Amino acid sequence: MSLVTDFPLHASQGRLAGHEGELTHWFERLLYYQPALLLYLRDLLEVVTAYIPMTVAAPMLEAPVSGPIGLSLEGTVMFADIDGFTPLAERFSQADSAEGAEKLTDLVDRFLDILIRITAQYGGDLQKFGGDAGMVLFQGEQHALRAVAASLEFQAAMKTEMGEVETPFGRFPLRVAIGMGSGRMLGLGLGDRAGRELLPVGQPLATMGRAQSAAPPAETVLDISTFHACQGLVDCVPLNDDLYQVLALREKPSAHGVMALPQPPQLEDRDLLVWFLSRLDALTPYLALSLLERLVAAPTLDRIRMWSERRWVTVMMLAVTGLPDLLPYWGDEAKLQQTIAEPNTAFIQIRDAIQRYDGIVNKIAVAPSGAYIMALFGAPHGHEDDPLRAVLSALELQEMFGGTLSFGINTGYVFGGDMGTARRREYTVMGDEVNLAARLMSKCAPGQIWLGPNTSGHPAVTRRIAGEFGALTRFKGKAEPLAPFIARGLRQVFLGAPASEIPIVGRDDECAQLTRVLDAVLAGESRAVLLHGSAGVGKSRLVQELTRSAEKRGFAVHLGVTPSYAAHLPYAGWDAALTSLLGLDAASPEARQQTLEAVLERYGVAPWAALLAPLVGLTAPPSPDVLALPPTMRDTQRQSMFLELWQQAAREQPRLLILDNVHWMSSASLDMLDILINTPIGAPLLLVATHRDETADAYAPVLRRWSADEHVIDLPLGPLSDAAMETLVQRLFEDMPLPAAVSQWVAGRSSGLPLFATEAVRALINSGVLRRRDHSWELTGSLEDFPLPDMVYGLIQSRIDQLSPPDRHLLRAAAAVGDEMMVPTLVAAYGEESDTAVRRRIPQLSPFGLAPRDVEWLIFRQPLVREVAYRGLPHRIQRLIHQRLTEYLGYYREKAAPNWLTLMAYHAYEARMWEEAVAVNLELGQQAVRSYLAVQARQALERVLEAADAGGLAVPEARFEAHHLLGDTLISFGDYDAALSHLNAARAMLPAEPENPDDIARLADLDYHEATALEARGDYAPALAVVERGLARSGVERTLGGARLYLIGADLFRRRQDYEKARVWATRAIALATRFPNQEGQHVRSRATYMVALLASLQRLKGARTDENQQ
């Protein structure tokens, strides 16, 4: 085999003449330095062929063709469509379920797995699939009979495996309606090296469509050609229009078996290398654009699926009509090759118009109504203005083809990733938004472009596209009619898009105000600054400037960042700041406890260490002062000591406390923040709290929470002025000469938000519209056709898409970890590569905000990037990452993170590892109860019950403990009804007449807490009845719970002023508690002794009053 003639090199053959020996030498050297190259190429070829129908792959492997192809085919085509899928998709859409597209995708994946597996056994070859349907081709001997046999087995498997599917909205029946057509067809391989698609055409596809449309759910209908091709071996019932519904097979086909692709030949290594490269060159144009990049990076199905994404995508559907009739040339390869030129040119024009706007042709699909092109704008790579790009592409195509095309365009969140099996799969997008695009296309007339609401309502589209809303129209799968927007043309508008580091511009007044505040604080008075504004307005940048000024003035700076999932971490946002304040960040793990004790002693709050230590992930034994506190007073005392701690620290050295993203704080964290903001102290402490002031529910707890006064400065950060934006833009371009139109354009479309401006600059540079020429910038394209949307999501998604697939997935994994993380934790979350490989990738993520804090710690400095990255992860991948983190934290524990238990409880629940979530949250809840962290205890214990219910776990011991401790915990919140409900739930899990000493002790404890709740609620008589019932139980006087019951009974008699009976009961409590020398027994004995002394005083006082009255 000649290395030159058999390899389709782009250079002219004449130029390579005489160089065959040289090429052979370098091929041999390549294989010498890369001995595994042939195995890699074999694996890559196997993966690539899985994305291409065997109809195309087989002849290409035999004899690669570089031009368009026309395949003469004869056989039976089967179209299988899921009935019941559309209402299910609509139900998910109505519920606005974030997991809706993924759940639908999982169902379609199961459907495809069954379809591919069974039809392959009968020689079927999946040609196309789209949405909830697939088309399979059967060729060769008994093709019609094999197709019918496959359909019947497939229907039976669907009934067994997917007859009814369980969803969050109940059970939905799914059935498959199948139609078949038989005869001669053509397979047109349209396109060129820049991209190809297979388009099947022919009469059998039309009759297949009619048959499928007539097929009832769970039935198969044949056209007359298929019926005759079965040669009487199928029992059918005739329908109208020459259609037949299948009843049963009379005889199974004798000829069937799985099709196999040609295998690589036995060749010399250098010739085998050419063989692989030539086949890859011929086949890879049939892959979706950019898919090859993913396959090269990860040529395995499991890893490719790890890169699936939830994306904001615009889907364009274009009906394929008006094709010339090429069937007369069936079997005449030469004539077919000539006549295919016209449809091939049309396809290339369509594809190029789509790609000019950075869209991709995802597929040419086939439906009962005919063929259509599905194009994507936003997958696998996104842009901030994908809706506009899709509409501009459609308008250009409409003009190009004389206004004869029909378009449906819709935008929304979809699942983007691989569908199918290892044998046959495709890259595509799934979701209800895709379905609506198809419905829009099917309803609109030729020459029209119908837009869905998310597309027509996108700011870039409304500013740029002229048109009008059509009449209300009903679409399949939509309960309510929609009025499509009919795009007619363009109107004049500014557009735009990104940049790099943000200089501080236009904030002179705010900087001066903060400087005055710093000086006032240095004079000895505390201040609080509430810095708020919309996302991207520059809050973080202003805080950085303040930090530099404060450090120059001798302030110690302490920073706390609240993560977005802080609702599950009661005191998140404070831990890092307190760790810094207490000097724990510089202490070794072994010295942290000792350091904490020394610092608390220095600041005079050591007696309350048991209340403060849990805030930094440590514990301390309760002092007598802590033990003496009623449960309802513990949080109040913690807040008081928290304030004292900061006050004493500020007297030692001026302090700047920065709390970022307080809008994500839990209620417990906000309560702590309230204390510092609302309580002026005579010490140099400056508190700066930043938050967003959007009206979304997530930010509601901080809006208008605090009032401004002389100690509390409200500092709203509004958009920059036009002049400031122009200055900012000039600074972003390094103060080099810039066309005035660019500065005005960016400033005008950025809405005064620095983040938008910087992103716009980046987009202009990256797109090539603006290029650097020596010491100035040159505009190379029109700004009018360059969009800048108002929303930042598209901007950031497009930036993230610039990363390679592995780097992109690493960024998303980091987003799932949180705002801060150690490198080993990120390695565990990513789970794809070694520690060394991950560390090599980390610098690539620095421009996206994931930057080193020190050697081992990383921090997200761009929270919006983290939000977009995390939202892009499918829930399946999110759960996998949370599972990895759960396993990592469970193995390394405190070596992984000081607050490992809190993090593990969160990740186990998010991973839906229900058994682990129950165990870890129970341990966390028990620890929180011991540490007097009522808020954390409540959340963890509630999670125990939620996880047990979600996993359908019995776990009686865990449920009992959770109900029991929740009852106790909720009393401290004053939520007595809920406390009693949990206590009763725990009681119901024990025998009514216990004999086991442990059960007797548990019931006594429940009686005590029930009586406590009733007493606190003011129901003294019912409380005493509970006490007496508990004490009447056999064996209770051998338990510490019995002592507690006597003690609370004594208190109830005290309330009745029956001091003598109260004294007797308190004395019994002392006698019982003496039998228990542990800390709890000592605590009960101390309280009972105090009660006896109190009663003695009350008796003397009562006696004195009696004597007074007698006199």
Question: Can you give the pLDDT at residue 14?
Answer: 46
Confidence check: pLDDT of 210 > 80 = yes
Q: How much is the average pLDDT of 806-819?
A: 90
Question: Can you give the pLDDT at residue 485?
Answer: 96
User: Which of the two residues, 854 and 1062, has the higher pLDDT score?
Assistant: 1062
User: Which of the two residues, 307 and 1074, has the higher pLDDT score?
Assistant: 1074
**What contacts 771, CB < 8 A, 6 or more positions away?**
765, 777, 778, 780
Q: How much is the average pLDDT of 975-998?
A: 91
Alpha-carbon distances of 566 from 692, 874, 875, 903, rounded to whole Å:
15, 21, 19, 11
Q: How much is the average pLDDT of 978-985?
A: 94
Cβ contact 650:683 at 8 Å: yes
pTM for this entry? 0.72
Per-residue tokens: 1060 = 């003598």
Question: Can you give the pLDDT at residue 1?
Answer: 36
Confidence check: pLDDT of 789 > 50 = no
Q: Report which of 716, 680, 689, 701 is spatially closest to residue 558, judged by C-alpha positions.
A: 689
Angle of helix 722-732 versus helix 740-749 axis, rounded to 10: 120
> How far apart are the C-alpha atoms of 199 and 197, rounded to whole Å?
6
Q: Report which of 362, 404, 371, 409 is spatially closest to residue 390, judged by C-alpha positions.
A: 409
- What are the pLDDT digits (tens) for 476-528? 767 788 999 999 998 743 333 333 356 788 899 999 999 999 999 999 989 99
What is the average pLDDT score of the chain? Answer: 86
- Bridge partners (DSSP) listed for residue 363: 374
Confidence of residue 7 (pLDDT cuts 50, 70, 90): very low
Question: Can you give the pLDDT at residue 301?
Answer: 63
Q: What phi and psi, each to the nearest 5 degrees, are found at residue 439?
A: -65, -40
Confidence of residue 749 (pLDDT cuts 50, 70, 90): low
Cβ contact 204:210 at 8 Å: no
- What are the pLDDT digits (tens) for 429-450? 888 888 899 999 999 999 999 9
Q: How much is the average pLDDT of 458-473?
A: 87
Of the spans 344-348, 386-390, 912-916, which averages the highest pLDDT?
A: 912-916
Angle of helix 54-62 versus helix 269-283 axis, rounded to 10: 140
Q: Identify the DSSP state of 482.
A: B
Confidence of residue 316 (pLDDT cuts 50, 70, 90): very high
**What contacts 455, CB < 8 A, 6 or more positions away?**
314, 387, 390, 391, 409, 410, 411, 461, 485
Confidence check: pLDDT of 209 > 50 = yes
Angle of helix 634-652 versus helix 667-678 axis, rounded to 10: 50
Confidence check: pLDDT of 319 > 70 = yes
Give the dihedral sign, CA 467/472/473/476.
positive
Lowest mean pLDDT among 756-760, 926-930, 933-937, 1104-1108: 1104-1108
Of the spans 126-135, 362-371, 1094-1103, which averages the highest pLDDT?
A: 126-135
Lowest mean pLDDT among 401-410, 555-564, 960-969: 555-564
DSSP 507-557: -HHHHHHHHHHHHHHHTT--EEEEEEESTTSSHHHHHHHHHHHHHHTT-EE
- What are the pLDDT digits (tens) for 531-551? 998 777 888 889 989 999 999
Confidence check: pLDDT of 241 > 90 = no
**What contacts 591, CB < 8 A, 6 or more positions away?**
none
Cβ contact 143:182 at 8 Å: yes
Question: Can you give the pLDDT at residue 695?
Answer: 46
> How far apart are the C-alpha atoms of 873 and 808, rounded to whole Å?
10
Q: How much is the average pLDDT of 203-219?
A: 94
Alpha-carbon distances of 107 from 657, 659, 1071, rounded to whole Å:
50, 44, 66
Cβ contact 399:329 at 8 Å: no
Show the DSSP H helices in 176-290 as ranges.
203-214, 224-229, 269-283
